[in-house]
Every structure is written in C-alpha cells, then in structure tokens.
C-alpha cells in the first residue's frame, strides 16, 4: 500500500489516499464512460481530504450508489464516495487521473459492468459492452448543425 496525493486541476481541492495501485478500473456506466474516469478504490479511513471541502460539490445519479465530488472552479471530478455490497460496503473511488506522479495509462485495466448494474459479476480484463444508439441528443433526435 502506498500513500498518494492528488488534486483537482486548479489546486483548490487536495487529498491523499492509501492505495494498492496494481490496476486501474474502468466502468461502462454512463458517467464513467462520458468522463473516462480511471478509478481505484479504498475504504473511507484510507482517504483524507486535505483542502477544499468548501470548494466541492457533489453529483449522485441513477441508483445513488455513489456521489462524485468535483471542484466548483475547474470542474474536475476528484473522488466519489458510496456504498455497494459487491465492493465490500462503504468505499471511496479515487480518480487516478488526479493523483500526482501517477500515469493512469501505464496501469493495466479491469472493467466493471455498472451500466447494467451487473456488479455481482465482478471485474474482468475485457470491457463490458455498451449499447450504442443512432441518436446523439436527450430528445432522441440527431443533433443538427454539428459537423455539417
């Protein structure tokens, strides 16, 4: 286990976490896919927010398994907190991209199927599928004027 420090882009939020970084995790849920979050998990006692609590805002979605916390100034999602039986209960998910001195591209990846709430299947080495739609907007209609 190694203690890492991390921060958001502007430096308003700083944290440290004690992690075993054998691999990074990718999840195929809608938020992880859209933000390309590379995660690592730890138990809450292994995480310390060093600065910026007042600079954070949170976002919970779907089944409210986790709340992602991001900097109000630069918008970077630094970590999430939640509880999921398949992860051993309470957890903190660290955005590995925010850790100082860590190259997330150098880590082997493991994949979760969060999009289908398939947490009981555990992680695997190959990505879980993502259903693709032919439309790009919330209304279900193609977005016009982009790339035309």
What are the counts of helices (DSSP H) followed by strands (DSSP E) for the chain? 1, 10
CA 86 to mean position of chain CA atoms = 16
Residue 109 backbone phi and psi in degrees, to 5: -110, 150
pLDDT tens digits in sequence order for the chain, 148 residues long: 999 999 999 999 999 999 999 888 778 877 877 888 888 999 999 999 999 999 999 999 877 888 999 999 999 999 999 998 877 899 999 999 999 999 988 998 888 787 787 778 877 888 888 775 444 444 444 434 444 4
Map 76-117 to HEC letters. Answer: CEEEEEEEEHHHCEEEEEEEHHHECCCCHHHCCEEEECHHHC
Residue 82 near residue 67 (C-beta atoms within 8 A)? yes
* CATH architecture of residue range(s) 2-119: Beta Complex (2.170)
For CA atoms 90, 34, 55, 98, give the dihedral sign.
Answer: positive
Residues 47 and 6 sit within 8 Å (Cβ to Cβ): no
The full length of the chain comes to 148
Domains of the chain, residue spans: 2-119
Q: What's the pTM value of the predicted model, to 2 decimals? A: 0.76
Whether 78 and 95 have beta carbons less than 8 Å apart is answered as yes
Q: Which residue, chain included where needed, has tokens 């630069």?
A: 74
Stated as kind and residue range, the H or E segment containing 30 is helix 30-35
């Amino acid at each position: 286990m190694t203690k890492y420090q991390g921060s958001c882009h502007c430096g308003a939020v700083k944290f440290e976490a004690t992690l075993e970084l054998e691999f990074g995790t990718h999840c195929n849920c809608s938020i992880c896919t859209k933000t390309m979050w590379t995660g690592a998990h730890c138990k809450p006692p292994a995480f310390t927010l060093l600065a910026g609590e007042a600079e954070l805002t949170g976002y919970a979605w779907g089944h409210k398994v986790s709340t992602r916390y991001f900097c109000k100034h630069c918008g970077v999602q630094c970590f999430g907190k939640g509880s999921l039986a398949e992860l051993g209960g309470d957890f903190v998910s660290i955005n590995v991209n925010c850790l100082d001195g860590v190259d997330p591209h150098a880590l082997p990846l493991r994949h979760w199927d969060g999009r289908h709430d398939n947490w009981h299947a555990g992680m695997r080495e190959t990505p879980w599928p993502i259903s693709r739609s032919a439309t790009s907007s919330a209304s279900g209609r193609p977005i016009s004027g982009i790339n035309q």
